[in-house]
């Protein structure tokens, strides 16, 4: 697996802490040796053990493993949002995206069809007029709705036969097997279109028809799917004994060619050549609007007929055109994506004017100047392409080479580019994009094989949701690792300051070997169970302004103030733990009157009752240090993960698993204090009045917003995407 930016930065910081631990250990050993040398007595064993103690304290946990674990958990959560990443490391790529390229189908959240026009009774009705009339029926009762449908006046805006057309089309699609392909315009012929069945049935329900009750009265006795020979599907219903209703539904021109008569205003007349030419021209007009046009016809018979027996028998009822509209949900998703700072580029397969109209309708552009055609791209020189692509937000029918050049130009401008591929023309652009996605339903197999992730549902909404989720998860992982490294460094600082206290005040080492291991186990290993389990507020929060991406694709995982943040937190924790240790022992009779590494390491490596018995004062003081370290580590965890705009308690309850782990840690530590065999093994003693020190300093660090003071804006060293 290739290393991510986050892994590289974390590994560098991890290495610095390890080297720092070795340097501090070397200094401590050197100082101790110098004092030993002055006394002409050198305890080499104690010197070596002192160095090993520092090395153990400065050994961070497997932070790279924690980072990968976090990415893996959140990559699994993205499946619920409709995106499956090929590698969990792609979560980083997704979190850095500042610009996304997609065609009109890729930007759609839903691909539902709407009725754009109806033609019945030799009258053409546009979709808006039809929907307005349907809306007028919405508040009527079932009986009133039936009366309103039956009382449609002749010659009005809505033809009398319009409800009958929709009803018959609903019967013709009731079986739903192998829906026929309707005639479409050339520009949209290569796109996978949704079925009109759901739209027709929805219109039937709004008219007051219940398909289930209709099918109970008109049982389906036979059904013939659409085939190459017959471009329509046929349903046969039994309306009475030896009386069958044959309904055909399919490509409008094919259905028209099959019919020998037409129903107009309730009267059946022959389909003359003049009528045929008029209907043919209307179909051609509707096709020019990129609509899908379906014809509806019926025929009554006393026997069950087959499609080949229907020639010239059906009665032409009318046709319906459907279009893929940019519904309000799609526009809302695009607007919310733009509000987060994401720049969206439309790569349209349509002609220039169609691209302009579509981009305006989606809210991506405001005028023609922001749209570029294939010819305009060809006319731009290499030297000027970066200047021009910064102004263009939509492209009409660009070639595969132009798509690739567009992506490369945007990357040179500092954007992290995502690309949603559809067909082979997108492959080269996908290869040079920072992350490539594909729709598992509509994209070609070659495109899906190239993509870093697949969209299974929700369309562009899945991209938006996954993007916001990845950004917050990426930042949360950085906060958790900063806290984890602070815990490690605080142990190192505690030992270093303890060494200084020995040579100034003749105090022993504040922690024993077993206590160091115990603190590391409780504060670095167990909390790792909570990484990646936090709630992502971007999933439910409508205020997405704080999730704006950075402009530069090489933005840092750890901010420039991370080093200061870790050092300040570690020193604060260490001082809080050592203050009670100092005041409990600085006048204690248990302290030795001499200096030396052997005195410093006294009982520091003992286990249980082995070796010299531990003074009760020293044991209690060390227990206070150990307990304070554990509780302050847990207390600072929530502040390290907290965002500037959220309350502390909101952050605490964002990760229920970490709450449970923290309670388990506290219970385990209390067990070591008050169960005698365990406390003796770890060199601890029960605490009484000493709890006031531990609780006071733990509460102080719990409420101290150290993270917000240092990192008041996590990305304040980056330029935001305008």
- pLDDT tens digit sequence for 149-201: 888 988 889 999 999 999 999 888 876 554 555 555 443 444 445 678 888 98
pLDDT band of 599, cuts 50, 70, 90: low
Look up tokens 């399919």; give the residue: 250
Enter the DSSP assignment of 549: P
Enter the DSSP assignment of 523: I
How far, in Å, CA of 188 to CA of 192, rounded?
9
Given a contact cutoff of 8 angstroms between Cβ atoms, the answer to whether 693 and 628 are in contact is yes
What pLDDT shows up at residue 329?
79
How far, in Å, CA of 539 to CA of 691, rounded?
41
What pLDDT shows up at residue 184?
52
Position with higher pLDDT, 31 vs 706: 31
Best CA proximity match to 296, nearest among 165, 396, 392, 200: 165
**β-sheet bridge partners, residue 397:** none
Given a contact cutoff of 8 angstroms between Cβ atoms, the answer to whether 685 and 623 are in contact is yes
Stretch 420-436: mean pLDDT:
94
Residue 361 CB contacts under 8 Å (≥ 6 apart), including other chains: 326, 331
pLDDT in tens, 3-56: 788 999 998 998 898 888 889 989 988 888 888 777 777 778 778 888 888 888
Percent of the chain at pLDDT above 70?
Answer: 88
What pLDDT shows up at residue 325?
66
Residue count (the chain): 722
Stretch 102-128: mean pLDDT:
85
∠ at Cα 670 (666, 675), nearest 5°? Answer: 150
Helix (H, G, I), strand (E, B) or coil at 218: coil
pLDDT band of 716, cuts 50, 70, 90: very low
Best CA proximity match to 492, nearest among 574, 601, 606, 603: 574
Residue 563 has pLDDT above 50, yes or no: yes
pLDDT in tens, 234-268: 999 998 888 999 999 999 999 999 999 999 998 99
What pLDDT shows up at residue 505?
82
Given a contact cutoff of 8 angstroms between Cβ atoms, the answer to whether 585 and 618 are in contact is yes
How far, in Å, CA of 282 to CA of 442, rounded?
30
pLDDT band of 596, cuts 50, 70, 90: low
Given a contact cutoff of 8 angstroms between Cβ atoms, the answer to whether 17 and 488 are in contact is yes
How far, in Å, CA of 436 to CA of 454, rounded?
9
pLDDT band of 358, cuts 50, 70, 90: confident
**Residue 239: how many other CB atoms lie within 10 Å:** 11
How far, in Å, CA of 25 to CA of 470, rounded?
40
Dihedral sign, Cα of residue 369, residue 371, residue 377, residue 381: positive
pLDDT in tens, 385-404: 999 999 999 999 999 999 99
pLDDT band of 553, cuts 50, 70, 90: very low
DSSP string, 279-318: HHHHHHHHHHTT-EEEEEEEEEESS---GGG-TT-SEEEE
Q: Supply 624's token pair.
A: 């206070």
Given a contact cutoff of 8 angstroms between Cβ atoms, the answer to whether 359 and 346 are in contact is yes
**β-sheet bridge partners, residue 102:** 346
Stretch 627-655: mean pLDDT:
89
Best CA proximity match to 406, nearest among 439, 430, 442, 424: 430
Stretch 529-550: mean pLDDT:
67
Position with higher pLDDT, 485 vs 613: 485
Alpha helices in 352-426 (DSSP H): 352-362, 374-379, 385-389, 400-412
Residue 719 has pLDDT above 60, yes or no: no
**β-sheet bridge partners, residue 588:** none
Residue 573 CB contacts under 8 Å (≥ 6 apart), including other chains: 486, 487, 490, 493, 629, 632, 633, 636, 701
Q: What is the residue-averaged pLDDT of the chain? A: 85
DSSP string, 655-681: -HHHHHHHHHHHHHHHHHHHSHHHHHH
What pLDDT shows up at residue 426?
94
Stretch 371-386: mean pLDDT:
92
How far, in Å, CA of 285 to CA of 68, rounded?
57
Residue 61 CB contacts under 8 Å (≥ 6 apart), including other chains: 484, 488, 520, 524, 525, 528
Given a contact cutoff of 8 angstroms between Cβ atoms, the answer to whether 294 and 182 are in contact is yes
**Residue 465: how many other CB atoms lie within 10 Å:** 22
Q: Burial-class residue 142 by CB neighbours within 10 Å (0-12, 13-18, 19+).
A: exposed
How far, in Å, CA of 44 to CA of 42, rounded?
6
Total-model pTM: 0.76
Stretch 450-459: mean pLDDT:
90
Residue 60 has pLDDT above 90, yes or no: no
Kindly provide the residue ranges of all beta strands, DSSP E only, lying in 325-467, ordered along the sequence. 343-348, 371-373, 394-396, 417-421, 435-439, 453-455
Position with higher pLDDT, 175 vs 270: 270
Q: Supply 652's token pair.
A: 């605490």
Residue 241 CB contacts under 8 Å (≥ 6 apart), including other chains: none
How far, in Å, CA of 623 to CA of 685, rounded?
6
Position with higher pLDDT, 720 vs 524: 524
Domains and CATH numbers, the chain: 5-82+467-710 (1.20.1110.10), 89-108+328-457 (3.40.50.1000), 113-324 (3.40.1110.10)
Helix (H, G, I), strand (E, B) or coil at 254: helix
How far, in Å, CA of 198 to CA of 173, rounded?
9
How far, in Å, CA of 207 to CA of 142, rounded?
9
Alpha helices in 506-561 (DSSP H): 513-520
Q: How, if at all, do strands 435-439 and 417-421 pair?
A: parallel
pLDDT band of 326, cuts 50, 70, 90: low
pLDDT band of 552, cuts 50, 70, 90: very low
Residue 576 has pLDDT above 50, yes or no: yes
Enter the DSSP assignment of 602: T
What pLDDT shows up at residue 609?
44
């Amino acid at each position: 697996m290739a290393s991510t930016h986050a892994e590289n930065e974390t590994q560098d910081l991890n290495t610095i802490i390890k080297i720092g631990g070795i340097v501090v250990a070397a200094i401590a050993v050197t100082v101790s040796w110098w004092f030993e040398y002055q006394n002409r007595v050198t305890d080499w064993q104690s010197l070596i053990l002192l160095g090993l103690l520092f090395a153990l304290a400065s050994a961070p946990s497997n932070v790279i493993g924690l980072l990968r674990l976090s990415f893996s958990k959140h990559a699994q959560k993205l499946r619920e949002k409709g995106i499956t990443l090929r590698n969990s490391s792609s979560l980083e790529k997704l979190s850095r995206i500042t610009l996304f390229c997609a065609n009109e189908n890729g930007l759609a959240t839903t691909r539902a069809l709407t009725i754009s026009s109806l033609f019945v009774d030799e009258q053409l009705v546009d979709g808006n007029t039809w929907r307005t009339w349907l809306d007028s029926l919405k508040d009527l009762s079932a009986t009133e709705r039936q009366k309103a449908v039956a009382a449609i006046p002749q010659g009005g805006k809505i033809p009398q036969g319009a409800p009958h057309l929709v009803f018959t089309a609903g019967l013709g699609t009731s079986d739903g097997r192998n829906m026929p392909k309707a005639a479409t315009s050339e520009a949209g012929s290569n796109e996978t279109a949704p079925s009109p069945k759901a739209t027709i049935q929805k219109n039937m329900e709004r008219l007051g028809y219940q398909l289930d009750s209709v099918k109970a009265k008109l049982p389906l006795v036979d059904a013939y799917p659409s085939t190459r020979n017959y471009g329509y599907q046929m349903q046969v219903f039994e309306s009475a004994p030896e009386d069958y209703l044959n309904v055909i539904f399919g490509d409008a021109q094919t259905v028209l060619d099959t019919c020998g008569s037409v129903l107009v205003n309730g009267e059946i007349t022959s389909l003359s050549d003049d009528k045929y030419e008029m209907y043919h021209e209307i179909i051609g007009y509707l096709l020019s609007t990129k609509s899908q046009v379906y014809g509806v016809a019926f025929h009554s018979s006393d026997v069950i007929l087959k499609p080949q027996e229907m020639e010239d028998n059906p009665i032409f009822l009318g046709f319906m055109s459907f279009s893929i509209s940019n519904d309000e949900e799609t526009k809302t998703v695009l607007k919310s994506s733009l509000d987060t700072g994401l720049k969206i580029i439309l790569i349209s397969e349509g002609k220039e004017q169609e691209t302009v109209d579509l981009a305006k309708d989606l809210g991506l552009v405001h005028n023609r100047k922001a749209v570029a055609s294939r010819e305009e791209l060809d006319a731009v020189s290499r030297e000027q392409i970066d200047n021009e692509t910064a102004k263009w937000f939509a492209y009409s029918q660009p070639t595969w080479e132009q798509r690739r050049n567009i992506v490369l130009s945007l990357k040179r401008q500092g954007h992290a580019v995502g690309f949603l591929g559809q067909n082979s023309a997108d492959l080269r652009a996908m290869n040079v994009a920072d992350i490539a996605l594909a729709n598992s339903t509509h994209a070609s197999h070659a495109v899906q094989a190239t993509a870093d992730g697949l969209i299974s549902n929700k369309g562009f909404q899945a991209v938006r949701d996954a993007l916001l989720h990845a950004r917050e998860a990426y930042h949360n992982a950085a906060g958790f690792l900063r806290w984890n490294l602070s815990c490690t460094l605080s142990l190192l600082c505690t030992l270093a300051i303890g060494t200084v206290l020995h040579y100034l005040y003749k105090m022993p080492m504040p922690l024993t070997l077993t206590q160091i291991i115990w603190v590391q186990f409780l504060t670095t290993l167990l909390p790792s169970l909570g990484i990646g389990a936090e709630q992502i507020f971007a999933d439910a929060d409508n205020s997405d302004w704080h999730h704006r991406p950075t402009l530069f694709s090489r933005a840092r995982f750890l901010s420039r103030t991370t080093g200061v943040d870790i050092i300040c937190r570690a020193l604060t924790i260490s001082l809080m733990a050592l203050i009670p240790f100092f005041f409990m022992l600085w006048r204690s009779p248990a302290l030795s009157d001499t200096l030396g590494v052997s005195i410093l390491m006294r009982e520091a490596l003992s286990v249980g009752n082995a070796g010299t018995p531990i003074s009760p004062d020293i044991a209690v003081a060390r227990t206070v240090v150990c307990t304070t370290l554990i509780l302050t580590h847990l207390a600072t965890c929530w502040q390290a993960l907290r965002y500037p705009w959220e309350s502390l308690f909101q952050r605490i309850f964002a990760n229920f698993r970490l709450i449970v782990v923290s309670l388990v840690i506290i219970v385990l530590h209390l067990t070591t204090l008050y169960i005698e065999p365990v406390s003796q093994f770890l060199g601890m003693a029960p605490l009484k009045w000493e709890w006031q020190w531990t609780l006071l300093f733990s509460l102080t660090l719990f409420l101290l917003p150290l993270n917000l003071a240092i990192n008041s804006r996590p990305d304040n060293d980056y330029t935001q995407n305008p």
